[in-house]
Amino acid sequence: MIESKQSVLMCQSRLSPKCNPEDARQYMAGTFGLTPTQVDEYGGKNVVLCGPCFFHHYWLDMLQRDKQEPGTAVIVDGVHYVIGPEKSGSFRGFGGAHYTIEFFDGRAVNSTNLWYQGEVPPEFRAQMPNNARFKRG
């Protein structure tokens, strides 16, 4: 029986300004429901992130996505949405609810496949400014 090593898994990315390196172990265990041994095993093969960095990474990916698929990102009052394809399968954003989106550049888009990603964090607001509003009624 090998005694489990009490190594401290530190955040390996330091992506977020709020990076909390010591939080990584607890975050990995809490999020993925891993035992300390499993966290060690995971950490030996993968990049370990703390909670704030995981969150930061999510938004970096979003920024990348927005650039790769221009015209599909909708940011209203600091909340990020994505317009999905109208001809998609059975899962639709907001249960297929109809939205009319008026972009500040003059485009108007009707969507029944709008997806919600969450509130843009303060450190991303300069790169992800509001770009539209919902037309009411």
Distance of closest approach, residue 54 Cβ to Zn ion, in angstroms: 8
Total residues contacting Zn ion by CB under 5 A comes to: 4
Contact predicate 56/16, CB 8 Å: yes
**Rounded to whole angstroms, what are the CA distances from 108 to 8, 89, 101?**
52, 23, 6
Instruction: Select from 6-14, 35-43, 92-100, 104-112 the region that touches Zn ion (CB under 5 A).
Output: 6-14
Question: Strand ranges (DSSP E) for 77-131?
Answer: 79-83, 99-103, 108-111, 114-119
How large is the angle between the packed helices 36-45 and 24-32, nearest 10 degrees? 110
- Contact between 9 and Zn ion (CB under 5 A)? no
Binding mask 15-54 for Zn ion (x = CB under 5 A): ----x------------------------------x--x-
Q: Which stretch binds Zn ion (CB under 5 A): 14-22, 33-41, 60-68, 114-122?
A: 14-22
49-53-116 Cα angle (round to 5): 115
Residue 82 is a binding residue for Zn ion (CB under 5 A): no
Min CB(12)–Zn ion separation in Å: 8
| 75 lies in the binding site for Zn ion (CB under 5 A) | no
Please name the residue ranges forming H helices in 7-96: 24-32, 36-45, 51-68
User: Which spans of this chain sit near Zn ion (rule: CB under 5 A)?
Assistant: 11, 19, 50, 53
